[in-house]
């Protein structure tokens, strides 16, 4: 049986795009691999719903941040692979710094005591 995560984190609005872009930074991957990668790396805390994964992939494609190509999977089946475009790379940097600023801000607000000791 698959291990059910004890506590699963709801994906924040808009973070799926960032996760997909980051995952594709490692190299081209098909949709299923992207989902599994996010799930694994987040230690099963993040579960990507298929219902939102494919619309997201196609949306990013429409924006020109990722590009598709048909290739053979590890098991020799035809699959649609996505890779990061230069435009997507730029977008990733931007989104990432935005997210880092946001998360820093959240930490600062949630742990105000730290500030005193610094």
Note whether 85 binds another protein by CB under 8 A. Answer: no
Contact 30, 73 (CB under 8 A): yes
What is the distance of C-alpha 18 from the center of its chain? 5
- For residue 72, state whether it binds another protein (rule: CB under 8 A): no
Q: Is 64 in the site for another protein (CB under 8 A)?
A: yes
Q: CA-to-CA distance for 80 and 12, rounded, in angstroms? A: 26
Q: Does 102 interact with another protein (rule: CB under 8 A)?
A: no
Query: Which residues make up the interface to another protein (CB under 8 A)?
Result: 1-2, 30-32, 36, 49-52, 54-56, 58-59, 61-64, 73, 75, 77-80
């Amino acid at each position: 049986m698959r291990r059910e995560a004890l506590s699963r984190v709801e994906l924040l609005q808009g973070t799926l795009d960032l996760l997909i872009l980051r995952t594709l930074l490692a190299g081209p991957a098909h949709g299923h691999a992207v989902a599994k990668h996010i799930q694994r790396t987040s230690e099963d805390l993040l579960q990507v719903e298929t219902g939102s994964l494919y619309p997201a992939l196609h949306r990013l494609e429409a924006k020109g941040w990722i590009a598709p190509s048909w290739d053979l999977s590890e098991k020799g089946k035809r699959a649609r692979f996505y890779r990061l475009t230069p435009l997507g790379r730029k977008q990733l940097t931007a989104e990432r710094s935005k997210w880092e600023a946001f998360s820093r801000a959240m930490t600062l607000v949630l742990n105000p005591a730290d500030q005193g000791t610094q």
